[in-house]
Amino acid sequence: MTRRESILREMGLAPLWRLRDKPALPTQATAEGEPMPASPAAAPAADERTRRIAAMGWDELKSTVAECRDCRLCEQRKQAVLGVGDIEADWLFVGEGPGAEEDEKGEPFVGQAGKLLDAMLAAIDLQRGRKVYIGNAVKCRPPNNRTPELEETAACFPYLQRQIELIRPKLIVALGKPAAETLLNAEVKVGASRGRLFDYRGIPLIVTYHPAYLLRNLADKAKAWEDLCFARRTMKGLDDVGG
């Protein structure tokens, strides 16, 4: 157990949960970095692409994502939306994918759900862009805002992976099921996962409801508030450990 994990444990925040048994994504690397090809024939090209993305800096990542046509979501997007915020952020919030307004403006969470996300951030004294980075599981808008499919989140995951490696956040908050499943590479039920600390490659990860869901299910806002308090407490624990 790492020192960080043992202090988190003392605070009642650990263990870090690792979900390994039910891989949700066919082609991405596992938390351990072991490739899990969908089919042997598809593996080398996918591996090569993942390796290429894993070596990119921000500029190359930005230009590659802007021109990416590696899944069918490229067909109807106006522009790909990489993410926004502090590239040395402590906090990383990951949503599902751009909606109409995000597709238009090129920035995540600028529509109604984004307003609620900004309010959620403010509730724990955070602000977009200040020690906070906001990204999405897929960078291109799914038609009619449908949920991204597994092949799409899998195709886009190396970009998110690279963003996380470059940012090195202290804590990741997965907003909703697609974000959580993409990051944890497993089936996730948001309701059952709240209040637990998961592990994404050594980075603590918290699962909560997506703001767009909260706009339709006002009763669950109180639970999201609890989750934010849990996140803030966890961050405080991480800061106390000095890491």
DSSP 121-180: HHHTT-BTTBSEEEEES-SSPPGGGPPPPHHHHHHHHHHHHHHHHHH--SEEEEESHHHH
Q: Does 236 bind ligand SF4 (CB under 6 A)?
A: no
Phi, psi for residue 172 in degrees, rounded to 5: -115, 135
Q: Please state, in angstroms and rounded to a whole number, the distance separating the CA atoms of residues 97 and 74.
A: 12
Q: Does 102 bind ligand SF4 (CB under 6 A)?
A: no
Instruction: Between 102 and 181, name the residue whose CB sits nearer to ligand URA.
Output: 102
**Residue 102 binds which entry of ligand URA, ligand SF4, none, with Cβ cut-offs from 5 to 8 Å by kind?**
ligand URA
Among 7, 53, 92, 99, binds ligand URA (CB under 6 A): 99
Q: Please state, in angstroms and rounded to a whole number, the distance separating the CA atoms of residues 29 and 130.
A: 30
Instruction: Between 155 and 186, name the residue whose CB sits nearer to ligand SF4.
Output: 155
**Residue 68 binds which entry of ligand URA, ligand SF4, none, with Cβ cut-offs from 5 to 8 Å by kind?**
ligand SF4
Instruction: Between 70 and 199, name the residue whose CB sits nearer to ligand SF4.
Output: 70
Q: Please state, in angstroms and rounded to a whole number, the distance separating the CA atoms of residues 98 and 213.
A: 15
State the number of binding residues for ligand SF4 (CB under 6 A). 14
SS3 213: helix
Instruction: Between 148 and 211, name the residue whose CB sits nearer to ligand SF4.
Output: 148
Two tokens at 73?
């979501």
Q: Which of positions 152-211 make contact with ligand SF4 (CB under 6 A)?
A: 152, 155-156
Q: Which of positions 155-214 make contact with ligand URA (CB under 6 A)?
A: 212
**Residue 69 binds which entry of ligand URA, ligand SF4, none, with Cβ cut-offs from 5 to 8 Å by kind?**
ligand SF4
Contact string 42-61 vs ligand URA (x = CB under 6 A): --------------------
Straight-line distance from the first to the last Cα atom of the chain, in angstroms, rounded to the nearest whole number: 15
Q: Please state, in angstroms and rounded to a whole number, the distance separating the CA atoms of residues 170 and 172.
A: 7
Residues that bind ligand URA (CB under 6 A): 95-99, 102, 108-109, 113-114, 136, 212
